[in-house]
Amino acid sequence: MIYETRTVTREILDGLKKNNYTRRIKSHFMAYGTEYDFLRFFIIEENGEETGVISVFNSAMMISTFEEKTLSDAALDELAGVVSMIMPLQIEMESSYGKKLFSLVGDDYNCDKRTEFAFVSKNELPDMNVDELPKLDDVFRILAQSFPSIRDSYELWLTDTSHRVRRGLSQSFLLGDYTTATIQYIIDGVALVGHVATVPEERGKFHARRLLYWIGERLKRDGFEVRLFARPHRVSYYEEIGFRAVGVDHVLERKINDE
C-alpha cells in the first residue's frame, strides 16, 4: 500500500538508508516541512510494515527505503501505478529498483545512467578569489546560459534557492563573473555539488575545474564529504579534478511529447 501522509518527521527519515535519495528527501522536508502542496510525502507499506518513503517536490520524485527493508515486485507494481497518476518529470531511487520500475513505465520514460563521484582531498586549498556569498541574480545570470529549465523558471529557482541558503541547506559559489557552482544540499555531513556552469565566452579555460577542486578542498576542510553526479562519459574529467567514481544509478526522465 502506498498512501500520502503529512505526519513525516525527521526521526522517521533518519531510519531510511543513508544514500543520496534519502538526503534529497530530507533536504525537502527540512526546507519546507509538510504544509505545502508543491511538496508531498508518501509512505510505502507492505504487510503492515513501512518499507519506504516517497517525496514529490514540484515535478521530481525521490524514493528511498528503510534500513534492512526491500521493495517487493508487488510494491513496484503499485509504485508504477502511482507514477502513472502523478507523471513526475524525473524519478530517482536505488539503481536496482530504478531499472525494475523502468520496465513497468518505460512507455512514458527514458532511463539514463549516472555515475556518482566522491572528492578525494589532497589537503591543498588553492589561493583563489571565490565569492562564497554571491548575489543569487549573478549566479542565475550564468546558470541561465547553460540550463534551459532554470532559464525559464527564474522565480521558482530564486525562491527555492534563497529559501534553502537561508536555512543552511544549500550554498552557491562564484568565481569571477563567469563560473558558478551550487551545493544542492548539505545533509548528514554530505554536500552534493550541482549546477556547475561557465558563460560561453569563458569556456575551455579550466574555470569550472579550478572552482570544483577549490570547493572540494574547502568543504573537506570543514568536515564535509563532497559528492556529485555526472554522465558516465565524464568519468575521466572528474577524476582529473580529484573525484573518484563510487557508484552508478539510473534516473527515469519523462518523455516529452512535442506534438
pLDDT tens-digit profile of 185-211?
999 999 999 999 999 999 999 999 999
Query: Which residue type occupies 93?
Result: M
- To the nearest 10°, report the CA torsion of 9, 15, 19, 21: -40
The residue with cell 542565475 is 140
Distance between CA 203 and CA 109 in Å, rounded? 32
Q: Which three cell numbers stand for residue 198?
A: 561557465
Task: Measure the CA angle with vertex 42, ends 37 and 43; round to 5°.
Answer: 160
- To the nearest 10°, report the CA torsion of 226, 229, 232, 235: -20
> Structural domains in the chain?
2-107 (3.40.630), 118-254 (3.40.630.30)
Residue among 229, 199, 72 at smallest CA distance from 138 = 199
* CB-facing half-sphere around the CA of 137: CA atoms within 13 A: 0
Task: Assess whether pLDDT exceeds 80 at residue 70.
Answer: yes
Q: Which tens digits make up the pLDDT trace of 109-149?
A: 999 999 999 999 999 999 999 999 999 999 999 999 999 88
- Residue 16 has φ and ψ, to the nearest 5°, of -75, 160
**pLDDT attached to residue 3:** 97
The residue with cell 556529485 is 228
What is the average pLDDT score of the chain? 95
Q: Which tens digits make up the pLDDT trace of 71-110?
A: 999 999 999 999 999 999 999 999 989 999 999 999 999 9
**pLDDT attached to residue 259:** 43
